[in-house]
Amino acid sequence: MAAVLDAESLGGDECMEEDEEELETSLEDPESGGKFIPVGRGCCILTRRGITLRVLLKDGLIEPGEGVLSIYYLGKKFLGDLLTDGKIVWQETGQVFNSPSAWATYCKKLVNPAKKSGCGWASVKYKGQKLDQYKAVWLKKYQPNAPTAEESLVSEGEDEEIPEDEEEEAKGLKSTLSESMRKQQGKSPVELHSADNGKRLDSRNRVPVRYCSLGSRDSARYSTQRNPHTLVEVTSFAALNKFQPFNVAISSNVLLLLDFHSHLTKSEVVGYLGGRWDISSQLLTVLRAFPCRSRLGDVELAAAVEEEICQNLFMRGLSLVGWYHSHPFSHALPSLQDIDTQMDYQLKLQGTNNSFQPCLALICGPYFHGNQGMESKISPFWVMPPPEQRPYDYGIPMEVEVTYVQDGFLTNDILHEMMLLVEFYKGAPDLVKFQENWSQEQTYLDKLKGSLGSRTPKDQGFGHILEQVYSLLKHNS
């Protein structure tokens, strides 16, 4: 049964949620000691704060229904069902909230952990109209002489509306990985990368831009027509006088497998990261990479692959903690599309409580000649939400400092995964031809071996198996 979240547990004191719920109780049963008489025609005792969803429902100004409530915050959309008793059910999780402000506070803190309040009457909409407008209608109808001085108390004036064409965007498919965490609506990384499959520019020609040069989404959309594959330089937390909000440790076997996967094809690849989040130490430990053995344009196969990964996560007692993808011949820097995808997943990987939980993104650039040496550049990043007063800005891609943990040996499942990847890409037109030259001195196979060398465990007992893998790659290409 879904838990009912109240304002006290969410810290929504600025919106006076305790008063709101006390009012609802006393209005329901006036002889139980409440200070207010039942609402009716001509009743003139309710202040603006005293008007609740239950009051509006009883007087017929709004009606219960599925998906009639919505929140738009920093480019994110939330949908809620309105129950007959005035409570709200968030559609994505089934969680029940006692008031608009409790729901708004919870949703806003998922997007921006620093958010302290929600003041939902100004930011929750009923069938496209903000709830505080319905409150104003009630006051005008039943209390025409009521003072309006409290109107400023219910609106923070910080919620910007998104364009009409974005309001009607599709909800997307339910992620098949969500059983291991919670049910979500939205596109997976595989599907998001599939949307422009075959239309990407030659990544070798992409020149990164600084975040400060991006401007708002409006200017990017209507003026410069900025390409979604534009690469953006990452920003350090120190440059913004901030501390990294979480620590990260990554197993060397994770890097080895995702680096191997990224080397196999000239097209972008994508996969998931499994691990654990320790809230007491604020440490995110990445223990396993799960490559998606599906083409970026094959959404149907992607669903089956994600279901298999979900089962593997569950069997190993791991949680989904992030994702990775490759830029085969380019900088290991996020594109504008990558920034939006990561922002979506930071929201989706939040827990069902109100605590902060990070989501990590890794980008691998295996064949970019700007890398020093033969080792692939693997860049971890996280996205900081834009300032609330500038909701149309892109999120800020932040450079994440990571501790790399050297594994003592290769596990059988890592080797098995490598063999499955070799078989999957066998005969593919975009398979890298490993016998050809990557540079004047090295073949592509030499490049692969050189990159994996620093990520190979100290125990060389599996060295002969790796050589078999390399031999298969050379033969298949």
% residues pLDDT > 90 (the chain): 36
| Residue 4: predicted pLDDT | 40
- Residue 64: partners with Cβ closer than 8 Å, 6 or more residues away: 57, 81, 82, 83, 84
Instruction: State yes or no: pLDDT of 235 exceeds 90.
Output: yes
- Chain centroid to CA 83: how far? 28
Instruction: State yes or no: pLDDT of 224 exceeds 70.
Output: no
Backbone angles phi, psi at 383, to 5 degrees: -110, 125
Cα–Cα distance for residue pair 185/348, rounded to 1 Å: 9
| Residue 188: predicted pLDDT | 54
pTM: 0.62
pLDDT in tens, 67-101: 999 987 765 778 999 999 999 998 878 889 998 98
Instruction: State yes or no: pLDDT of 210 exceeds 80.
Output: yes
| Residue 81: predicted pLDDT | 94
Q: How many residues are recorded in the chain?
A: 477
Total H helices, total E strands in the chain: 15, 15
Segment 373-401 shows an average pLDDT of: 91
pLDDT in tens, 33-53: 333 434 444 444 455 667 889
Q: Are 125 and 100 in contact (CB under 8 A)?
A: no
- Residue 261: partners with Cβ closer than 8 Å, 6 or more residues away: 269, 271, 289, 291, 326, 421
| Residue 329: predicted pLDDT | 93
pLDDT in tens, 362-377: 999 999 988 888 999 9
SS3 334: coil
| Residue 405: predicted pLDDT | 92
Q: Are 402 and 248 in contact (CB under 8 A)?
A: yes
Cα–Cα distance for residue pair 107/11, rounded to 1 Å: 13
Average confidence score pLDDT of the chain:
76
Cα–Cα distance for residue pair 76/217, rounded to 1 Å: 14
Per DSSP (E only), the strands in 136-220 are none
Instruction: State yes or no: pLDDT of 254 exceeds 50.
Output: yes
pLDDT in tens, 256-285: 999 999 999 999 999 999 999 998 899 999
